[in-house]
Amino acid sequence: MFDWWFRIKFWKRVLLGFVLGALAGWAFGKDAEVWFGPLGDLYVTLISMIAVPLVFFAVINAVASLSGKQSIAALAGRTFLWFALTAVLAVGVGLMFGWLLQPGSGVGQLRMAADYTPKDVPGAVDMLLNLVPANPFQALGGAATAKLADGTKVLVPRSGTVLQVIFFAGLVGFAMVKLGDKVAGVRKLVGEASELMIQVTRYVLEFTPLGTFGLIAALVGGYGFEQLRPLLSFVVALYLACAFHIVVVYSGLLLAHGLNPLKFFRGAAPAMEVAFVASSSFAALPASLRSATHNLGVDRDYAGFAVPLGATIKMDGCGAIYPALAAVFISQYAGIELSLAQYLIIALASVLGSFGTAGVPGTAVIMATVVLSAAGLPLETIGYLYAIDRVLDMMRTMTNVTGQVLVPVLVARETGMLDRTTYDAAPTNLGVREGDAAEQP
C-alpha cells in the first residue's frame, strides 16, 4: 500500500518532511507547536527507547569481536588521535571566522535570555569518576527526555551517561574475550541481540520523516524572526564556520586518504539530517551507526565501538567551533582586545574541554563557560546567546555528527577495515528496507 513511499530515497523523504514542516510552522504559527509538536516528541521518545540498548549490545559485540581482528588499544589510540586533530582544526575555524566576520562588532545593546541560569562546570576529578557507573542498570536507564525553555523535547543524560554504558559494556566485552569458549553461548546471544537492535533501529528510522516534520514545524512556529534579529550576525558566522569545517576541512581529510568526499556526504546525509532536526548527537546515533556501516562500508565491529564513543566526546560544533567563536564574539561585543596568549588559551580550553565535558547536559553552554572562564572574559554574557541556542544547536550538532561518522571512516581506511565497494556505491537508504544492502543510489 505504501510501497511508493518507501521507494523514495530515505534522505529525500527526510528533506520533504523538513520542507513541509517549515511551511506548516510558518502557516500555523504558535499553533504548530500544539498540532505538530507531538510528532517530534514521539520521534525523540522512540530514539530514546532504542539508543541505549543499541549502544550496549553493539559495544559488547564490538569488543568481543575486534580482539581477533585488530589491537583494540591501537584502534582506540588512532581514533582518539583523529578526534583530537579534527577538534584542533575546528577551533582554528571558529577563531578564523570570528576574526574575519567580526560578529560582535556594532551589534548594539543585547538583552540576556530570561531563562538563562549559570552552568556549574564539574571538576576534572568528578568527570573522571563519573565514567564508572555505581549502578550499571541505573546507567542503562540514563537517557531521558526533557523540554527546553522553548518547549522543544530533547534527549539528556538522567542518572548516568552514555560513557558509563560504554565503559560497562567494554568491560563485559573484555571479560567475554578472557573467558573464551566458557561463555560461547553468551557471546552468541549478545551477537543476536545486537542484530535484533539493528532491525528495531530500521523500524524506528522509518519514522524519521514524520519526526522531522513535527520538530521543524514546532521550531518554525515557535521561533519569531524578532528573536533572531539582534544576533543574526552571530548565527550567520556560526553557520558559515560549521559549513566551512564540514565542506572544506573534512573534504580535505578525505581526499588525503584517497576517498571521494561526495561519496562520503551521500552516505552520511541521513545521519546529518537527523542531527540537524533533532539537535542531539545521541538522537542521531542510530542513524550514524547505520550510515557508517551500511552506507560507507566501515567494519561493523569497529563502528560499534567508535561511533557511540564519538557521540559522547567528538564535538567539533558544540565543543570547538562554538566556544571559540563565542569567545571572539563576546570580546568584540565587550570591547576587549584579545592577546595572543588568550587566543592560545581559548584554543587549548576548547580542545581539552570538549573531551572533559562528555556526557554533561548542555555541552555547548558548559564548553562556552569553560572557555570564557579560562580566557578571563565575562561569563554572564553567554546569556545573550542562550536566547537563540536552539537555532545554533541545529548546525552545531550536524557538525558534531558529521565528524563522528568521518573519523571512523578515516581510521577504517588506514587500518584496512573499510569496504571500498560499499563506500564507492554510497547508498543513502540506511538499509531500512529488506534488500536495501544491494540498492544503488
pLDDT at 438: 39
- Tens-digit pLDDT profile for residues 228-286: 677 888 999 999 999 999 999 999 999 999 999 999 999 999 899 888 988 888 778 88
Q: Give dist(CA 271, CA 286) in Å, integer.
A: 8
Question: Residue 361 carries which DSSP code?
Answer: S
Q: What percent of the chain has pLDDT over 90?
A: 25
**Whole-number pLDDT of residue 41:** 86
What are the backbone angles phi and psi of residue 349, rounded to the nearest 5°?
-65, -35
Task: Please provide residue 222's backbone torsions phi and psi, each rounded to the nearest 5 degrees.
Answer: -85, -20
- Between 429 and 56, name the one with better pLDDT: 56
**How far apart, in whole angstroms, are the C-alpha atoms of residue 176 and residue 273?**
36
- The CA-based angle 174-313-104, given to 5 degrees, is 175
Per-residue pLDDT reduced to its tens digit, 317-376: 888 899 999 999 988 888 888 888 888 888 888 877 666 555 455 567 777 887 888 888
> What does the longest C-alpha to C-alpha distance in the chain come to?
69
CA distance 222 to 154: 16
Half-sphere exposure of 46 (CA within 13 A, CB side): 22
**CB under 8 A, 24+ apart: contacts of 74-80:** 75/302, 75/305, 75/306, 75/411, 75/415, 76/305, 78/411, 78/414, 78/415, 79/306, 79/309, 79/310, 79/407, 79/408, 79/411
Contact 270, 251 (CB under 8 A): no
145 bridge partner residues: 155
Residue 155 pLDDT more than 50? no
**Residue 131: C-alpha distances to residues 59, 258, 308 (Å):** 15, 36, 14
* Sequence letter at residue 209: P
State how far the Cα of 74 lies from the Cα of 123, in Å rounded to an integer.
29
pLDDT confidence bin for 405, thresholds 50/70/90: very high
